[in-house]
Structure 1
């Protein structure tokens, strides 16, 4: 049994394939947690990487998107109260731009143009004659993760990386994983012109079905180039699976997006985390299922290298992720109370305004010449004027006589 108070790093996966890859890179696995928070249904794997105590979890089978990811993160930080930051590690669709993003590469969310490394692509504003504008950039990761990214980036630039070798070592240690998680042949990573689409729901592979004349030629990477390559920049997150090369190219050109995924939008503004994605397709209509396992391995291998950049003792002073989530919850409750109080104040003010308005309107009513009040007892009431209803009183007296 493991003490849940020991764990300071939360690692979240969306898919079982990503979960297997994450578990494979642990230096050491621990036993199951000794207890969990009530109503926490997450499945956890506990272990260590580079002296960090890691808790890894995965979204429920068949669930996707930002709300599911937010729920999993919320339950995790209540069961593991000392988690300081999160890592959203998985697979996504690449946008092949001037950075030459290819299948099996890794994209790391990184701040650009003063914004965080995440863009919520399905949240913004629709402007007449201008179309839809994405305006919602999500919070950037905490400083401890951003400095680790910078340090690892410098190390890779000087020395190169050993991600390929790390993946091969893991697969040699567990040969059962080779068929699904080994790197596919390079020729299967076919990139087609954006206007050319795969036949919807067609079973044959692109190699069997699609016209080779629509392929975009790219030279193989040389031995002096990193393969897989690591890219740093903007990741687009939302609640739709993107299989549209035209939309992909539009966001890549307008915003500089390098990758698309579905879960990070539910985490970044409420849970301090970094997003790391292995590229398993090109966010178009074509089929690349054989790349999912390797892309998950590449992202997990990078994450392990990243954790080696962070001294475990530096993690402890950081603000707990649970405190951030609780702070957000407290803010929401305060806003709710303020709205309730405002409604009460507004209601009382409305009554006062109505009374003042009614009095003003009575005073401004035109008075007929010679009009008098008809009841001596009421002559001093505010709503009556001298001489009002005198003629009506005379008519009543004549009728009674």
Structure 2
């Protein structure tokens, strides 16, 4: 059966995600057709940074994307964007290479074999104590099970017939990859060629990769697993450092493959497939002792780095080829072959995955489902109409079939709250509870080099996962063109907040991520500016970008930020407006914009400064970097720089900072900048991730109870007032432990139910 190009993005139900180019290349070779050879016809949602390859594998229209880099956070952000553009996805395969556990209950895993996820374990998610690491493994902390249709698919592969067919077809597609002429780019060699059993070497777990003959090297003193070895040894092969063959582990399956290889049989390269739990973490594992310890404790069969980031966002199966044994002897010799075996297994899986029938247009009722009373029929009709509207809102393509990727414009606005003024102290006035999760910026500035790295790349503006329970009003107090605003308050906080819900669902989530990074970078500029200029600090609101835990498949984007009351002032905009009023903070604001341009050596400028008092919100960053802040329509680049200098008058603060750039330089586009900057005086952000107010060293509150955390006065009082005694649910006699509920909430963490001795 040959399928023609689909008419819209809603026809794509399958996606494949790869973290490395070698993985992407192997998968691309197994496409039967490409739909974008003559250009991108289908488009993507506003704010989606991913790049896609679209085509057909077998009977499926498939989306292929390559992550910008390895790791859970990048994988999670890419997954949200993928979901916003392709709303009809039913199966996502994370395909690539991994480190394998050589001995598992199912048998011996060899290099080139394929592992398929039945579940994902975040092996590095937990607490580090002085005597070791303890993983968080409560029901709330563990990742959820796959969806029912994925569990059914995996169950079919665990039957004798199912696994035999899967391995046979994987071997067939592997030869197809190896036969493709496009992969022969290096001296005519086939880069997906089977490396051979001679290169499949497994050393004893405690036999480390280090120099064996260099007496003057620190490797000579390395006698335990924790002893240091030299960096040169890490970069050399086992032959070069002298790893001995006498410590190689013999294996029956490998010997069998060696005999097949000697007889010239192609079946020697055929990969075995193992289905089980896979460990996912943010670090590359290169320790055999750690591998075996984690594998024994968690019953995992392999280690990789992206699965945990995608698992909760999309209906996902991890398919990875084993390229090393996650030990200190690992090298890249098997990576291409392992990528090819994983890609081949992915195509074999899709061959067994049934396509779904297209949905009928409009509501469709079955007589037996209608019920017997008028109210039941009325309820069913209302539910069906609501579902139809929700489906349209969830998929930008359904909302605008003629223009793929156009943002959904809702015509339905929720009714506004009748309570026009907030009643924070009235019991039950906040009448709805929401369980949320998402991301928040980690604004931690240790020195000038931290700001330099954030200026250099978005990747250096760190985000962390946040969990939050809030109470909110059931109706918003304001509607806008794209979002609503509703009064809210986190469960253990007394400060007022506002949440903003977006009508366009996931399509705006990438833009919210970018906004958080802009806020964090502005906060970083402000921290250094305030360390150089005494007085009232310039500060910025930072937000969290969240969605409801109860609807991970399509949660509406929600942002939460402090509720600010007072007189709103706009100090400048992104073009040439400057507040004419003379005031100390207006001078500070204008000098701050000038400072950001000079401090970034003419590459950036923070403008559009507006807010209440010294707390500013919704700033804009002009930048010369073409790949930065693409979603911001207010980023005018070099034109914005010239517009600022056209009206900017340097004041005493500019002079104190010895800023050199000026209007004449902007007109000629030839700037001079201050050459060096003094060391930063201690200036901090409040440790509460929902607050992050900038505080000077003299005003920061610290405590031995919370080492490494500095608090503003408001948050410190809340920290002390929420101290409570909880009953530990850990083993042993009943006992209480003391916590501050506010502390865990302020860090975006769940309230523990066990004391530190049982976590």
- Residue pair 2:470, 2:491 contacting (<8 A) in 1 also: no
Picking from 12, 17, 21, the partner of 2:22 is 17
The residue aligned with 1:221 is: 256
CA shift in 2, pair 1:70/1:285, >3 Å: same
CA shift, 1:269, in A, is 1.8
Picking from 62, 82, 96, the partner of 1:54 is 62
1:316 and 1:298 mapped to 2: Cα distance?
35
The residue aligned with 1:142 is: 147
2:358 and 2:325 mapped to 1: Cα distance?
35
CA shift, 1:173, in A, is 2.3
Residues 264-312 of structure 1 deviation map (CA, whole Å, 9 limit, x = unaligned): 1111122221111110110011133121111111111111111111211
- Residue pair 1:88, 1:273 contacting (<8 A) in 2 also: yes
Q: What secondary structure does 1:267 align onto?
A: helix
2:359 and 2:352 mapped to 1: Cα distance?
15
The residue aligned with 2:103 is: 97
In the superposition, the TM-score normalised over structure 1's length comes to: 0.74
Matching of residues 40-51 of structure 1 within 5 Å = 40-51=48-59
CA shift in 2, pair 1:43/1:168, >3 Å: same
CA shift in 2, pair 1:323/1:148, >3 Å: farther
Q: What secondary structure does 1:182 align onto?
A: coil
2:171 and 2:495 mapped to 1: Cα distance?
67
Picking from 166, 173, 177, the partner of 2:180 is 173
- Residue pair 2:102, 2:109 contacting (<8 A) in 1 also: yes
CA shift, 1:124, in A, is 2.4
CA shift, 1:344, in A, is 10
- Do residues 194 (structure 1) and 205 (structure 2) align? yes
CA shift in 2, pair 1:347/1:182, >3 Å: closer
The residue aligned with 1:74 is: 80
- Residue pair 1:42, 1:57 contacting (<8 A) in 2 also: yes
Residues 26-49 of structure 1 deviation map (CA, whole Å, 9 limit, x = unaligned): 122111343111222212111112
CA shift, 1:54, in A, is 0.7
Picking from 84, 92, 112, the partner of 1:86 is 92
1:85 and 1:118 mapped to 2: Cα distance?
16
CA shift in 2, pair 1:175/1:194, >3 Å: same
Q: What secondary structure does 1:161 align onto?
A: helix
1:213 and 1:181 mapped to 2: Cα distance?
30
Gaps of 5+ in 1: 111-116, 349-401
Residues 328-363 of structure 1 deviation map (CA, whole Å, 9 limit, x = unaligned): x99449944549346699579xxxxxxxxxxxxxxx
1:91 and 1:133 mapped to 2: Cα distance?
24
How many matched pairs?
A: 334
- Residue pair 2:307, 2:318 contacting (<8 A) in 1 also: yes
User: More displaced, 291-300 or 78-87?
Assistant: 78-87
The residue aligned with 2:344 is: 301
CA shift, 1:206, in A, is 1.9
CA shift, 1:76, in A, is 1.3
Q: What secondary structure does 1:88 align onto?
A: strand
- Residue pair 1:206, 1:287 contacting (<8 A) in 2 also: no
Picking from 232, 235, 260, the partner of 2:303 is 260
Picking from 135, 139, 147, the partner of 1:133 is 135
CA shift, 1:256, in A, is 1.1
User: More displaced, 291-300 or 175-184?
Assistant: 175-184
CA shift in 2, pair 1:46/1:197, >3 Å: same
2:492 and 2:125 mapped to 1: Cα distance?
33
The residue aligned with 2:196 is: 185
1:142 and 1:256 mapped to 2: Cα distance?
21
In the superposition, the TM-score normalised over structure 2's length comes to: 0.41
Q: What secondary structure does 1:221 align onto?
A: helix
Q: What secondary structure does 1:107 align onto?
A: strand
The residue aligned with 2:550 is: none
- Do residues 122 (structure 1) and 124 (structure 2) align? yes
The residue aligned with 1:279 is: 322
Asked which structure has the greater CA Rg, the reply is: 1
Picking from 224, 237, 255, the partner of 1:205 is 237
1:86 and 1:316 mapped to 2: Cα distance?
20
The residue aligned with 1:390 is: none
CA shift in 2, pair 1:190/1:226, >3 Å: closer
1:132 and 1:347 mapped to 2: Cα distance?
34
2:17 and 2:358 mapped to 1: Cα distance?
18
CA shift in 2, pair 1:175/1:26, >3 Å: closer
The residue aligned with 1:7 is: 12
Residues 118-144 of structure 1 deviation map (CA, whole Å, 9 limit, x = unaligned): 100111245786752341432222222
Residues 43-93 of structure 1 deviation map (CA, whole Å, 9 limit, x = unaligned): 211111231111010111xx2210000111111121222222311111110
CA shift, 1:146, in A, is 2.3
Q: What secondary structure does 2:356 align onto?
A: helix
User: More displaced, 171-180 or 206-215?
Assistant: 171-180
The structure in which a higher percent of residues are helix is 1
1:257 and 1:92 mapped to 2: Cα distance?
13
- Residue pair 1:92, 1:280 contacting (<8 A) in 2 also: yes
Gaps of 5+ in 2: 211-230, 261-266, 361-389, 396-433, 439-467, 473-486, 497-759
User: More displaced, 216-225 or 159-168?
Assistant: 216-225
User: More displaced, 127-136 or 234-243?
Assistant: 127-136
CA shift in 2, pair 1:346/1:176, >3 Å: closer
- Residue pair 1:37, 1:79 contacting (<8 A) in 2 also: yes
CA shift in 2, pair 1:262/1:172, >3 Å: same
CA shift, 1:107, in A, is 0.7
